[in-house]
């Protein structure tokens, strides 16, 4: 687990813009479990963050100076702005969003990376169909909550796994999940057996560890497991716990597949439109848990791993 000393808050002058550059004033940054992975010096789906660099983060902000004809002052851009209040960029990797349709934080949450991850993960990798029993871990989180709601929209029976009675209540009473298992206070094996009596068709995994093993033990034939993350293992100081029940894949002719949202970039727009429509019709709910002040990055980041958050974790960094 990173400590407070892992990051330092630095101040520096905003540089002069060169031709083609814009200056963005950052409003909000997204805090995601994946951040922890980017801090490991291992081959992964994106390069690790070099020591001394700005911490990587999804962001949304307003162009306040522009020498780029594509983006006028006032344009709202989202991209990988990092944990900082101002960004100078040529705009590559950023795209403009319409804040009259949805509030800014939503563009880095349900309409941003976490929402996209949920959308493509459960539809393209999980390949859900009507009547499937879908189990989601990290179900009250930014990704899991959208996974479950999309599965409900598609006619699945949806069970969520989350920590604590409050989050479980949120899943069943506010998000329409068919059931919830409180892994902090219930036996996970018994919970899965009770809520998925016929077994699991699709398991969407955000956590890894024992919960992944418990899900493997209850697969139905031709089940699909979507490997999206493994938050229970990210701060391990020992070897990662591999799923000892993986031979259930053989017995049940099941598939375990990893996914990274960036592979679906060319279809983000279509997905955002679909999710926007679901949100407007009340079928898809979005909840953001917003904290204030760039100086509070560390305590807010900690909430990712302690579970002390209610919805998508976002930090307001505007000066």
Binding site for a second copy (CB under 8 A): 43-45, 208, 213, 227-230, 233, 239-260, 263
Six token digits for residue 188? 């996970």
* Smallest separation, CB 56 to a second copy (Å): 16
* Smallest separation, CB 236 to a second copy (Å): 10
Query: 291: closest CA among 263, 254, 259, 317?
Result: 317
* Minimum CB distance to a second copy smaller for 194 or for 236: 236
* Minimum CB distance to a second copy smaller for 190 or for 240: 240
User: Is residue 88 classed exposed, middle or buried when 0-12, 13-18 and 19+ CB atoms within 10 A define those classes?
Assistant: middle
CA dihedral sign of residues 227, 205, 48, 25: positive
* Minimum CB distance to a second copy smaller for 251 or for 280: 251
* Minimum CB distance to a second copy smaller for 257 or for 296: 257
* Smallest separation, CB 147 to a second copy (Å): 15
* Minimum CB distance to a second copy smaller for 247 or for 280: 247
Decide: 134 and 148 in contact? Cβ < 8 Å.
yes
How distant is the alpha carbon of residue 65 from its chain centre?
A: 31
Query: 289: closest CA among 273, 312, 307?
Result: 312
Query: 301: closest CA among 110, 116, 39, 10?
Result: 39
* Minimum CB distance to a second copy smaller for 177 or for 264: 264
* Smallest separation, CB 84 to a second copy (Å): 27
Residue 263's SS3 state is helix
* Smallest separation, CB 41 to a second copy (Å): 14
* Smallest separation, CB 260 to a second copy (Å): 6
Residue 33's SS3 state is coil
């Amino acid at each position: 687990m990173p400590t407070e000393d892992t990051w330092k808050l630095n101040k520096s002058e905003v540089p002069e813009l060169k031709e083609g550059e814009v200056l963005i004033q950052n409003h909000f940054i997204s805090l995601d479990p994946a951040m922890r992975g980017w801090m490991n010096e291992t081959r992964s789906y994106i390069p690790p963050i070099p020591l001394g660099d700005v911490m990587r983060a999804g962001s949304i902000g307003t162009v306040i100076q522009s020498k780029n004809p594509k983006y006028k002052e006032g344009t709202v851009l989202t991209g990988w702005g990092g944990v900082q209040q101002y960004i100078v960029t040529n705009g590559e990797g950023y795209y403009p969003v319409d804040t009259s349709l949805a509030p800014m934080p939503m563009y880095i949450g349900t309409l941003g990376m976490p929402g996209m991850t949920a959308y493509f993960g459960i539809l393209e990798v999980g390949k859900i169909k009507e009547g499937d029993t879908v189990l989601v871990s990290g179900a009250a989180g930014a990704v899991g909550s959208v996974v479950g709601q999309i599965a409900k929209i598609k006619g699945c029976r949806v069970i969520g796994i989350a920590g604590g009675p409050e989050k479980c209540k949120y899943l069943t009473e506010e998000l329409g999940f068919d059931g919830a298992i409180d892994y902090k206070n219930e036996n996970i094996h018994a919970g899965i057996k009770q809520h998925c009596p016929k077994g699991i068709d699709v398991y969407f995994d955000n956590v890894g560890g024992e919960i992944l093993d418990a899900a493997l033990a209850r697969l139905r034939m031709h089940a699909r497991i979507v490997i999206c993350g493994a938050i229970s293992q990210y701060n391990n100081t020992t070897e990662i716990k591999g799923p000892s029940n993986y031979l259930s894949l053989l017995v049940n002719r099941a598939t375990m597949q990893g996914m990274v949202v960036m592979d679906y970039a060319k279809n983000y727009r279509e997905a955002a439109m679909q999710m926007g429509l679901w949100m407007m019709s009340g079928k898809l709910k979005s909840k953001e848990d917003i904290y204030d002040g760039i100086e509070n990055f560390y305590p807010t980041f900690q909430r990712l791993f302690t579970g002390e958050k209610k919805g998508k974790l976002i930090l307001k960094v505007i000066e």
